[in-house]
Structure 1
Amino acid sequence: MTQTAPTTPARADDGQRRFASLDPRTGEVIGHHVVASEEDVREAVRAARDAAVFWAELGFDGRRARLDAWRKVLLKRLDEFQVLISAETGKSADDARTELALVIDHLHWAAKHAPKVLGKRKVSPGMLMYNHAATLEYRPLGVVGVIGPWNYPAFTPMGSIAYALAAGNAVVFKPSEFTPGVGVFLAATLGEVVPEFPVLQVVTGFGETGAALCTSGVDKLAFTGSTATGKKVMAACAASLTPVLVECGGKDPLIVAEDADVRAAADGAVWGGIFNSGQTCAGVERVYVADAVYDEFLALVVEKAKKLRPGGEADAHFGPITMPKQVDVIQSHVADALERGGRAVVGGLESIRPPYVEPVVLVDVPDESTAVTEETFGPTLVVTRVADADEAVRRANSSAFGLGASVYSRNRGEELADKLRCGMVSVNSVLAYASVPGLPFGGVGDSGFGRIHGEDGLREFAYAHSVTRKRFGALLNPMTYDRGSRTIRHVVRLVRVLYGR
């Protein structure tokens, strides 16, 4: 079967350019969507300005009530939403349901915790400013632009959308051209409980629509996608000093120490590398296994991976590769690994039959292979034998990426986690951090910067507003030209007494 992509835009009777979103499993048309022009995007941002004023004035309690109501609508229509996600991405029903469970959990957390994290609070003025009261609060930026990916079309953008809304902003969301219907569904369901103003709008289209959002005058832009595209987004936003949150890809390692529960580690590696067809930015791609347990671990991985199969049927373990071009990347990485002396102990080049890719497990792959250095984004694992867990940490840290990681060890888990250069680590599990709403999600290096989720995720979409208020006169006031000649000397003497010990 020939793999499909969103169709070439065509003009409808109303003169608007439209494109079709397709089911990657069958090529069936799911829906048609407008290709938003630059003017369309700017008009959405203009409408969002009025919506942002209304939304901010509701206050934390008013916004929470609306967001809680939205959560209940999403829960009521969960089955419908799952079917849509599966249709646009091809992912299994269970993978889509898992994604939606995370959406609900994070939406609840953001609405509940925004008042405590962002609301006004007292700050100690310190000894020198004892006659002042100080307060700090985090105010909404205004209008936030979000550019989302196709691999988790609801969960990933909601890491920005839900937190930006909870912080008091209006949002203009550009979903992937592969999953436009998911974005439309999110905006429509929120519109049911916030009918007054369009606090969440969706602009569908291709790269030019995303580029227009970057230059539209939003107050911040949150992007999830490849590192190469992330750099283009940053360059476009730089012209107007629009701040950005950039969540790019990863080449995430899993470390199996000498004292690991080997069976649990093998289960985690196979699931972390293959679920959702390997199309997970923080999924497992590199596995470093201590020599003492390598043979046992590899045998278990081979056994488990050989049982898995992709397909469009309800009982398939995972679905197709959603984006057709990604198949070429997967194929080139597997070919490069084999050409450089690597071996496939599960699958191989013959496993790649678009739009499906069967599990591929590679060993003896040189570090310079693209299968080790670049994000593959497919159901592949590169398993490498190392002397011990410490060598595993060094090899894990050699990547330009630094998104997430996993460590399996009975006694050294947290110690090894502390040595890893990345934004997030799961000990004796994989991807657990993504399921904890209170933990920030994001990376370092080529994996980007900024954070979604947790308190950091709320503050990403707000600015700090500090206020001091003079309560009474001070004996020493250096901030006036009417100060006496001895004032500064007394201030310096006081600082030495307070802080010189």
Structure 2
Amino acid sequence: MTQTETRAGTATTFESLDPATGDVVGVHPVHTEEEVRAAVARAREAAAWWSALSYDERDRHLSAWKGVITRRVGQLADLMHRETGKPHGDAMLEAALGIDHLAWAAGHAGKVLKRRRVSAGLVMANQAATVEYLPLGVVGVIGPWNYPLFTPMGSIAYALAAGNAVVFKPSEYTPGVGEWLAQTFLESVGHPVLQVVTGLGDTGAALCRAGVDKVAFTGSTATGKRVMAACAETLTPVVIEAGGKDAVIVDADADVDAAADATLWGACSNAGQTCTGVERVYVHERVYDEFLAALLDKAKGLRADDSAEAQLGPITTPQQRDVIRSHIQDALDRGGRAVLGGVESVGERFVQPTILVDVPEDSLAVQEETFGPTVTVAKVRDMEEAIARTNATRYGLGSTVFSKERGMEIAARIRSGMTAINGVITFAGVPSLPFGGVGDSGFGRIHGPDGLKEFTYAKAIARQRFKPLLTLTSFTRTDKADQQLAQMITMLHGRGTTIPKR
């Protein structure tokens, strides 16, 4: 990513580059604060039309967009390949998942959000109570570079299906994907309900301050904090999907071969640049040697390069290679061993798979997000130790458990927003499941019913069906009414369960 400067020294355009070759993929404008505000204003006008449509009408528009994306998916995958460096097959998988989530959001928004009756209770029995979920207005989405379609689509599709307009600021490393999405949407729908603004960090900050009704951010924890600070100036709510340090737990009864295969893919797919990727493994001592041998055997021949056959692409951002190198070096300096790869695996553009063992739990490679094709493997006495170590970081995004008998039991005790059992990152592909974390991994949820509601506000209505038997909300309330209310509350709630003395 490079910038073009004007005479005054202000960047007006920037280039997106192929990280595998350094070739220019495209040239894009650096949108100013005024231009961002203008985009939000256009979105506000479009939102008035979009929100007035029925759920079925929005579904038809979104389905038309889905059809365009699907028919041109090869073009989209090629663009993702060039901007991120990921293999074509990985880009196609990402596109397919994004399309599936768009279909789910469009088809289920009405069922999740439309007005429904709820019980008013005995005290307020004369009221008819309803709740519905209404669109916020304009949602700002700030997307990442590692999954430039699938990840932001988890906010864009759900916000649109809920009736909002969206202004999308893609990563400066993958602006072409964002522009492609906005262009195909405009072709499909004919209204600027989805717009894109491109630029660097200042453009994202401008979007936070441009009067949007909510910001959905995906990126590092540090940047997420800055987004929150900018949004706090206008009391703009945010949903944050930040970093992770996801672990795999392998129990004594696990399918070791399957666990090793999942670990390798979870750690190295997308060159390890996955927020829910595998970065740590805790293996029961009874199967540790077998697991490590299987993992090493499967990793043989897995290389990152620029050939058409490569299963791993380059590291997209130059600074990330420095992070990966420092984490490996710190692990080795603190007594860890590289049974595959090492510091020398970090090249100019590509990083080769690295497996580390005997790494102290307080090292960078265990505590901080590496975001590369590396993984630490540790032996544990039992699942109690595995769970304790898994939970001993400030992150809590995803996790994985391999166990034939105790998978659900172990998963329930892991402090993370999502867990896969006998699979890896499978929760991300299930449109009906919420996606998000706890702790420094962020808050709020995309995907599923929770993801639809994330971009709405609840509208509660109580309508009087008949006059109340007891007049309570009036200064004409009598002592008799107070006594009758006390009797009613006692009858309804006075027989609580007593707590036995110890």
**TM-score over 0.5 (shorter chain):** yes
SS at match of 2:281: strand
2:221 maps to 1:227 = yes
Report 1:406-417 matches (<5 A).
Answer: 406-417=400-411
Deviation at 1:484, TM superposition (A): 2.5
Match of 1:337 among 331, 334, 353: 331
Aligned to 2:156: 161
Partner of 1:82: 77
Q: CA RMSD in A?
A: 1.1
> Which of these residues, 293, 308, 313, is aligned with residue 302 of structure 2?
308
Partner of 1:500: 494
Secondary structure, counterpart of 1:353 in structure 2: coil
Equivalent residue for 2:186?
A: 191
* SS in structure 1 at match of 2:419: strand
Deviation digits for residues 136-166 of structure 1, max 9, x if unmatched? Answer: 1000000000000000000000000000000
Which deviates more, 480-489 or 118-127?
480-489
Residue range with higher mean Cα deviation, 478-487 or 130-139: 478-487
SS of residue paired to 2:338: strand
Contact kept, 8 Å, 1:344 with 1:361, in 2: the verdict is yes
Contact map agreement 1:11 1:18 (CA 8 A) in 2: no
- 1:65 and 2:60 matched: yes
Does the 8 A contact of 2:4 with 2:11 survive in 1? Answer: no
Aligned partner of residue 229 in structure 2, secondary structure:
helix
* Residue 470 of structure 1, CA deviation: 0.7
Structure 1 position 240 matched with structure 2 position 234: yes
Q: Which amino acid aligns with 1:295?
A: D
Whole-Å Cα distance in 2 between the matches of residues 148 and 280 of structure 1?
13
Aligned to 2:499: none
Residue 378 of structure 1 aligns with which residue? 372
The letter for the 2-side match of 1:396 is T
Q: Per-residue displacement from partner, 1:448-494 (whole Å, max 9, x unpaired)?
A: 00000001000000000011111111221111112222111101101
Which residue number corresponds to residue 472 of structure 1? 466
User: CA shift at 1:10, angstroms?
Assistant: 3.1
Between the aligned partners of 2:407 and 2:19, the Cα distance in structure 1 is 40
Selected match of 1:107 from 91, 95, 102: 102
2:29 aligned partner: 34
Q: Residue 439 of structure 2 aligns with which residue?
A: 445
Partner deviation per Cα, 1:15-72 (whole Å, 9 max, x = no partner): 9811111111111111110000011111111111101101001121111000011110
- Please say if 1:206 is aligned against 2:200: yes
Tell me, in whole angstroms, the C-alpha distance in 1 between the residues paired with 2:11 and 2:63: 35
Give how far 1:270 is off.
Answer: 0.3
**Does the aligned pair in 2 maintain the 1:306–1:346 contact within 8 Å?**
no
SS at match of 1:139: strand
2:49 is matched with which residue: 26, 31, 54?
Answer: 54
Q: Is the 8 A contact 1:9 1:35 kept in 2?
A: no
Match of residue 278 from structure 1 = 272
Mapped to 1, the partners of 2:361 and 2:4 lie a distance apart of 42
Q: Write the distance in 2 (CA, Å) between the matches of 1:483 and 1:207.
A: 59
TM-superposition CA deviations, 1:330-372 (whole Å, max 9, x none)? 0000011111111100111111112100100000011111011
Aligned match of 1:321 in 312, 315, 318?
Answer: 315
1:400 aligns with 2:400: no
TM-score by length of 1: 0.97
Is contact 1:150–1:175 with CA below 8 Å preserved after alignment? yes
How far the C-alpha of 1:305 sits from its partner, in A, is 1.3
Unaligned runs of 5+ in 1: 1-5
**Cα distance in 1, alignment partners of residues 4 and 444 from structure 2:** 34
State the AA in 2 paired with 1:20.
E
Identity %: 59
Which whole-Å CA distance do the structure 2 matches of 1:318 and 1:113 have between them? 35
Residue 243 of structure 2 is aligned to residue 249 of structure 1: yes
Structure 2 Cα separation of the partners of residues 20 and 474 of structure 1: 68
Q: Distance in 2 between matches of 1:215 and 1:381?
A: 39
**Cα displacement string for residues 173-230 of structure 1 (whole angstroms, at most 9, x for unaligned residues):** 00000000000000001101111x2101100000000011111110000000000011
Question: Quick one: distance in 2 between partners of 1:246 and 1:111?
Answer: 23
Aligned counterpart, 1:3 = none
Farther-moved stretch of structure 1 (303-312 vs 281-290): 303-312
Separation in structure 2 between the aligned mates of residue 9 and residue 465 of structure 1, nearest angstrom: 48
Match of 2:212 among 209, 213, 218: 218
TM-score (norm 2): 0.97
2:116 aligned with 1:128: no
Say how many residue pairs are matched.
493
